[in-house]
Amino acid sequence: MVFSSYEELMAAVEQRRKELLTLEVELGGSFSQEHEDAKKELQQAQAMQTLAGGQGFLGDNIDVLKQRVLDTKPEAPAVWIQFEKLDLNEWAALVKASNMTPIDQYERVLPKTFKGVFGQDPVQPDDWDEQHPDEVWQAPEPLTTNPLSVSSHGGAVSILPGGILHSVVQAFMTWQNSGGDVTIRPTKSGLV
């Protein structure tokens, strides 16, 4: 994108600051020995294929095994968790604080960034206008707006077990830290 005025630049920056992160989180299904066996069989077949130099061979059943893994996967309920960006100055101060792990940073900003947990996707589908030309999109109401529901300090209120919480924290931190890129042209850096 090329900016022709400072106002256009500031409009783009403001748009970026208003972004929301929506994560679909599977809460895990019930244990299925059939599914675990299918995953193990697929891993063994992939290992054999790797040992064979990655070459496919006649009677290769990798695709069949992948389908079996999908077919036997227990249904897992999902929720959507939504966050908003933290003010840039607050984030910069937090990042400068020493001895803070990503989970500490996440927990510190959670009350300001957490929007809610939803039972269905709160983001308007891209094809909504095409599929429903006469209807206005109505975003669902959150099931909860309590930040403890997605916190490691939530106790009985928390809906996220440890492994899932770790994934949510990683996704949030990556998104919060995401930004542009700096490129130094070789002709300007003295390399050419």
Q: What is the pLDDT at residue 176? A: 85
Centre a 10 Å sphere on the Cβ of residue 54 and count the other Cβ atoms it contains. Answer: 8
- What is the per-residue DSSP string for 3-43? -SSHHHHHHHHHHHHT-EEEEEEE------HHHHHHHHHHH
Cβ neighbours around 106 below 10 Å, total: 23
Give 59's pLDDT tier (boundaries 50, 70, 90): low
Residue 54: left if φ>0, alpha if ψ -120 to 50, beta else—which one?
left
Percent of the chain with pLDDT over 70: 89
pLDDT digits 0-9 by tens, 137-178: 888 999 999 999 999 988 888 998 878 899 999 999 888 887
The pLDDT of 129-140, averaged and rounded, is 82
25 bridge partner residues:
79
Nearest alpha carbon to residue 85 among 175, 165, 180, 179:
175
130 falls in which pLDDT band (50, 70, 90)?
A: confident
In angstroms, the Cα distances linking 10 to 17, 86, 139, 184 are: 10, 17, 28, 23
Where is pLDDT greater, at 180 or 145?
145
Check pLDDT > 60 for residue 1: yes
Which range, of 34-43, 94-103, 108-117, 160-169, averages the lowest pLDDT? 94-103
Q: Which residues pair with 80 in a beta bridge?
A: 24, 118
Which tokens is 72 given? Answer: 């036997």
d(CA 32, CA 132): 39
For residue 184, pLDDT beyond 80? no
Q: Which two tokens stand for residue 87?
A: 């003010």
